[in-house]
Amino acid sequence: MTDPAGPGRQRRSDVLLIAGLVASLIAIGLGPTIPALIRGASLALLVIGLVLTACQQRDRIPVTWWPIIVITVGVLPGLLNSMSFPQSLDTLHFLPIGFAVYLGVQLINPGSRRAIAIASLAVIAIVSIDGTVQFLFQTGVLSGRELAGNRVRSSMPHPNDIAIIPMLLPLALLSLKQWDRRTVAIFAAILVPLLVITVVTSWSRNTWLGMAIVAAALVIWRGGLVRLAVIAAVVMVVGLVAIDVVGIQDRLLSLAKPMNDGRIGLWLAAEEMFLRHPLTGIGPGLFGQVYPDVITAIDLPEGYRPEIGVIPWVHNVYLELLAEYGIPGFAAYAIVTAWAVAGLVIRLRQTDGSSGANDDRARDWAAALVLSWTALGVMALFDLTFFKHWIVFIYWLMLGLSAATVGRRSPRQPQAVTPVPSD
């Protein structure tokens, strides 16, 4: 999309916005060790940049607003009818930041979105380096945090949060397109082992599933070095499983025993909460508060022993939305997400790369985002939660990138006019 004011002017006007987006994303990768003041400053930079960019560019760049309206309307019934309004309001207080991320990604110069791909690569590098050092020496070098039991959590709050890697990996690969082949090969030779060690030793089965999906898709989508890197990663994984590093074999075998998994009880409790309050849910963020009472009141499969205590989230985003927000909230997120993914698929089918570099970039972004959405959607079946602010940030970042990618149109070539012979 061409800015009539010229690319230079737009870059100057949105520099704060880009800096805020990048800083906030990298702060997620650095984890809770980053002081709250710095995290707040990065988000404030994002919001200030959004306001300044919107004021200067509002007449030039169309923005898709309706997903914000749909989500807001969808979550209101759950909030207004919450069993604990203050707690639900606290859960949703980060949602406006998600809106800012969504709008900001659409407002910045299309070329500047490469900074987000670079930031995604930086997050993956940060998490992988810290995770590997944490595994080898018990304490991370960047975060200074120790293992969570015998599980690597790297710089993220919880080992399962390493699921951020498969979400961002397809986007991160877009930042490598400008690198020469030798540089990419050297970088991959360093990063891939770190990434594999971190993911495997996290013991996060959800992350394993997401990485398997991304790896399989990358082999199809990308050739050359990317394919070789995936093959090398698979060989490393097989080797780590063979030597049974951190008891990974037992962890894999546990997948064959779903009735021993605490998630079953969480899911049944969430289902019961939804059935009791189908139109409003129990209220955003209240699953952990209500779960202990519900799990003791419902019929469970014979022989199944549920987890008892306060467990903050359902470990299934779809059931979480139904239990906490009811049908309106679930429908709102379903409509918005389906719109984004469908638009990207249509964009892929309509774009064959014949219109030049801009068309190729749009196709790359569309393919990467479809893969990221697929990883997020599958992992959302077994973990993830909007209770965590970093999930909210990544969701709206992906939604904004999707809206920007779908909205881009390559300049139409003027049609040749056949002269009409005169009489």
Q: How confident is the model at residue 221 (pLDDT cuts 50, 70, 90)?
A: confident
pLDDT, residue 4, reads 40
Q: How confident is the model at residue 61 (pLDDT cuts 50, 70, 90)?
A: low
Tokens encoding 341: 């993914």
Q: How confident is the model at residue 142 (pLDDT cuts 50, 70, 90)?
A: confident
Greater confidence (244 vs 6) lies with 244
Q: Is pLDDT at 359 greater than 70 in this prediction?
A: no
Q: Identify residue 219 by its one-letter amino acid code.
A: V
Q: Is pLDDT at 377 greater than 50 in this prediction?
A: yes
Q: What are phi and psi of 134, to 5 degrees?
A: -60, -40
What is the percent of the chain with per-residue pLDDT over 90, rounded to a whole number?
A: 68
pLDDT, residue 351, reads 60
Q: Is pLDDT at 2 greater than 80 in this prediction?
A: no
Q: Is pLDDT at 417 greater than 70 in this prediction?
A: no
pLDDT, residue 8, reads 41
Q: Are 1 and 409 contacting, i.e. CB atoms less than 8 angstroms apart?
A: yes
Among 136-145, 190-199, 355-364, where is mean pLDDT lowest?
Answer: 355-364
Domain boundaries, given as residue ranges, for the chain: 73-93+262-409
Q: Is pLDDT at 413 greater than 50 in this prediction?
A: no
Region 132-144: mean pLDDT is 92
Top-ranked range on mean pLDDT: pick from 37-46, 149-158, 163-172: 163-172
pLDDT tens for 281-316 read 999 999 999 999 999 999 888 888 888 888 999 999
Q: How confident is the model at residue 365 (pLDDT cuts 50, 70, 90)?
A: very high
Angstrom distance (rounded) from CA 90 to CA 96 = 12
pLDDT, residue 304, reads 85
Region 62-67: mean pLDDT is 90
Q: How confident is the model at residue 411 (pLDDT cuts 50, 70, 90)?
A: very low
What 3 state SS string does the chain have?
CCCCCCHHHHHHHCHHHHHHHHHHHHHHHHHHHCCHHHHHHHHHHHHHHHHHHHHHHCCCCCCCCHHHHHHHHHHHHHHHCCCCHHHHHHHHCCHHHHHHHHHHHHHCCHHHHHHHHHHHHHHHHHHHHHHHHHHHHCECCCCCCECECCECCCCCCCHHHHHHHHHHHHHHHHHHCCCCHHHHHHHHHHHHHHHHHHHHHCCCHHHHHHHHHHHHHHHHHCCHHHHHHHHHHHHHHHHHHHCCHHHHHHHHHHHHCHHHCCHHHHHHHHHHHHHHCCCCCCCCCCHHHHHHHHHCCCCCCCCCCCCCCCCCCCCCHHHHHHHHHHHHHHHHHHHHHHHHHHHHHHHHHHCCCCCCHHHHHHHHHHHHHHHHHHHHHHHCCCCCCCCCHHHHHHHHHHHHHHHHHHHCCCCCCCCCCCCCCCC
Q: How confident is the model at residue 6 (pLDDT cuts 50, 70, 90)?
A: very low
Q: What is the pTM of this model?
A: 0.91
Burial of 180-218, coded b for 16+ CB within 10 Å and e otherwise, reads: eeeebeebbeebbebbbbbbbbbbbbbbbbbbebbbebb
Q: How confident is the model at residue 3 (pLDDT cuts 50, 70, 90)?
A: very low
Q: Is pLDDT at 137 greater than 50 in this prediction?
A: yes
Q: How confident is the model at residue 380 (pLDDT cuts 50, 70, 90)?
A: very high
Average pLDDT, the chain: 88
pLDDT, residue 139, reads 92
Greater confidence (259 vs 365) lies with 365
pLDDT tens for 316-344 read 999 999 999 999 999 999 999 999 999 99
**How many beta carbons lie within 10 A of that of residue 114, not counting itself?**
16
pLDDT, residue 356, reads 55
Greater confidence (203 vs 358) lies with 203
Instruction: Name the residue among 169, 170, 183 with its Cα closest to residue 127.
Output: 169
Top-ranked range on mean pLDDT: pick from 175-189, 195-209, 290-304: 195-209
Region 178-185: mean pLDDT is 90
Q: Identify residue 139 by its one-letter amino acid code.
A: T
Q: Name beta bridge partners: 148.
A: 151
pLDDT tens for 12-45 read 567 889 999 999 999 999 988 888 899 999 999 9
